[in-house]
Amino acid sequence: MRRQRWSDVELSAYLDGQLNEKTRGALATALQQDAALRRRLAELQQPRQLMRVAPLRETPRNYLLTPAMVAESSGRASQRRAPARLVLLRAMATVAAAAFALLLGAQLYLGHAPLMTMQDAAPAALWTEELADEPAAVEALTFSQEMERELVEVAPEAAPPSEDASPMEMPAEAPLAVCLPEEDCDPIITEDNGLLDTPLRSGGTEVPSVGIAGEEPIALADTNGAIAPEPVLSFWTPPLWLTVALGLLTALLGWATWRSRRH
């Protein structure tokens, strides 16, 4: 006969009919012969029996689902996915803010000058008979207002003379000649730069010039015929509207990021 200390695990499994046939038989035999073992089994059975008779707690309410609850739950789930959107918004707001700061700095400190060089600008301002017949082409060659103003400003009479002065810094002693539209200005091509220039007359001397259809040609050289040899580099000032628009975009993205964080 098997003599062993029966464990609580075996007694517990016996109560639930979870022992194999051989072990169950052995335990049943032991129970018949051992009062202490029967008591142990009864003590272990007590909580099991109490649990079975103890009532379940009443639910405080019914948990019936409605379509609205399911939809709301789906909405909450999509909101939990928001962080990815939030990261994107943050990145966009950062980039926009950096770009805005750059543009604002450019507006405030870099002054107001065209980015184009004289050499870049010259071909765009050529005045030829060919182009004069094609309004679209002439339109494309129009000078910017800044360029025009710069070139007009080089003519003041108070500036000191200089041999190697560029046309932008034309001295008063070398006044610019202007070929007015009503005058007879014959377009020519200069040899050294291949650019089409319009000769301007000043006391019988031809000087290279640039012009626009319907507007006055402007001299690119002094009356001695010296053509501007080097391009003049200046900085580009961002237009005000672009800076303002970027500022607004930055503010909008900042607000959207803040709102996403709150929710």
Partner 1 sequence: MTASRVDEATWENWDEEQLIAAAQRGNLDAFNELLLFYQAQVYNLAYHLLRDPASADDATQETFISAYKGLKKFRGGSFRAWLLRIVSNACYDEMRRQKRRPAVSWDDFGDLDEEANPHLVDEGERPEEGLQRVELRQLLERTMAALPPEQRLALFLVDQLGFSYQEAATTMEVRLGTVKSRLARARAQMRDLLQEEAELLPPRYRLEDSPEMEEMR
Residue 64 is a binding residue for partner 1 (CB under 8 A)? yes
b/e sequence 39-55, b meaning 16+ C-beta within 10 Å: eebeeeeeeeeeeeeee
Residue 88 is a binding residue for partner 1 (CB under 8 A)? no
CB of 54 to partner 1, least distance (A): 4
In terms of DSSP H, where are the helices of the chain? Answer: 8-15, 21-33, 35-53, 67-80, 82-109, 118-124, 129-132, 135-140, 145-153, 240-262
Q: What would the two tokens of residue 31 be?
A: 């129970």
Interaction residues for partner 1, span 99-138 (CB under 8 A): none
Among 25, 28, 47, 98, binds partner 1 (CB under 8 A): 47
Name the one range near partner 1 by CB under 8 A: 69-77, 107-115, 180-188, 217-225: 69-77
CB of 18 to partner 1, least distance (A): 6
Given 3-state DSSP classes, what are the helix, strand and coil percentages for the chain, each rounded to the nearest 5?
A: 50, 5, 45
Check: CB of residue 243 under 8 Å from CB of residue 96. Answer: no
Among 3, 22, 57, 262, binds partner 1 (CB under 8 A): 57
Residue count at the site for partner 1 (CB under 8 A)?
A: 40
- Give me the residues that bind partner 1 (CB under 8 A), please: 7-9, 11-13, 16, 18, 35, 38-39, 42-48, 50-67, 69-70, 73-74
